Structure 1
Amino acid sequence: MLKTDYVNAEMLSKFATRLGNRALLPEITPKAQVALMCRMLFTEGWNDHIAGHITVRQPDGCILTNPWELTWDEVTASDIITLDEKGNILDSDWNITPAIGLHLQLHEARPDVNVVVHNHPKWSGIWANLQEVPPIYDQAGAYCGSELPIYNEYLGTFEDEGTSLTAVESIGDAKWALLAHHGALVLGRDLRQAHLRAATLEWRCRRAYEVRLAGGAQPLAEEVINQVGLPDPNGFPFLWEAMARRELRRDPTVLN
């Protein structure tokens, strides 16, 4: 089962008592976890063809990432690439995106960030192109708080080291960002946290656009957002496992 600390010690103890020895997931290798993350986020709308990449820093400093050539809904564990800290491929014949430098620079600049996710999702992409921060209208959109920076100094794609470094410096200590005329970026301590943030961002953006099309409404007040928001550092109890099981039912070969 994926290692996690859920919400807090008291709730964890209660959940563990109820679950007994029941496993929410089979044992999953680090590479299989990354492949599952690709599938899970594809389902959430992070699905722009072969665009986008996920990097996951390992305890030894190496980085796991998906290959450039494959869509996120076809990646399996054996496709996941291991990189050294400089981005050199250690164990694969697949290629990595030329824009991987942004991820490497983020990992280097942010010791708290072990997972970086970038793609061009539909709904967050709309708000990125509008260069507007989507309001929050419901509880699911409030899970990760309201602050959402927009990096609006679009200088082209991130193959250039100077361009990506400028983005890293502008993003600062944010947990996510909209990239104007480009897409979305989500950072996390682990896969659970990054998944919650990515799913929440796309949900929030979708709901905000639907509400705008419907004629508008009153967004949630900041004090309400603070009340209903989840303790983001610990993620959403059981959500990662539930979404992983859904992908395993669809295609068990993702673990291969």
Structure 2
Amino acid sequence: MEQKLDYQNELSGKIALVTGGTKGAGKAIAERLKNAGAKVIIIARNAPEIPDEDLYFISADLSKAEDVKNTAREVFEKFGKIDILVNNLGGSETPGGGFAALSNTDWEETIQTNLLAPVRLDKAFLPQMLENKSGVIIHIASIQGKLPLHDSTLPYAAAKAGLINYSKGLSKEVSPKGVRVLTVSPGWIMTEASKRMMERISESNKISVKEAEKSVMDALGGIPFGRAAMPEEVAELIGFLVSPRASYLTGTEYVIDGGTIPTV
């Protein structure tokens, strides 16, 4: 059957939820889905600096099971359903210094945020998707799932590797029941936080910002494209994957890293 797709308003009538949706790539993803016609819910610990009345904000710490439970209750009371779930929340706050510098708390908190929070959110919203025999779940992982940086982000890399594997397993279970599950693994993204980090590296090492950016790319083994991704570029990929145009795609990991990973 031939599908007629409206690219300008292709998510009209859809309810989308984006975690970590107030900053960086999460903010860009939320805006991309909104512009495609979806009603978008964003979740983060802190409210966006510039409120957007077209984005429904819920304050929650999704590393805590109780906050996930309360968030799901509010979403269902307000909207009744979720069609698109983008598990974008993630990050690393562990210290440098390699394995020996990492405490049990560093490991536990990182895994709670980067692996268990998406698992709990899926558990909260997936049953309703299965009941409707329709839905899309996106897990935002990282190239560190395959290219770990040992100095300070090993727990993050391990959690993202677990998320990639979990996402594949979940897709095999629920895709036959109408729910698509996909993984997106970005490389370095030039968010506002990344820009501030470049400025700090520049100041502390008495080098230019461009030289600071090159030092980070060198630490990653080089980025053939020559720069970090922009948040909007990651958001555009997500916008396609959750759309009807990607209706046959499930169970796959999409890497968007400018060619950073040196293997096929």
Q: TM-score range by the shorter chain?
A: under 0.3
TM-score (norm 1): 0.26
TM-score (norm 2): 0.25
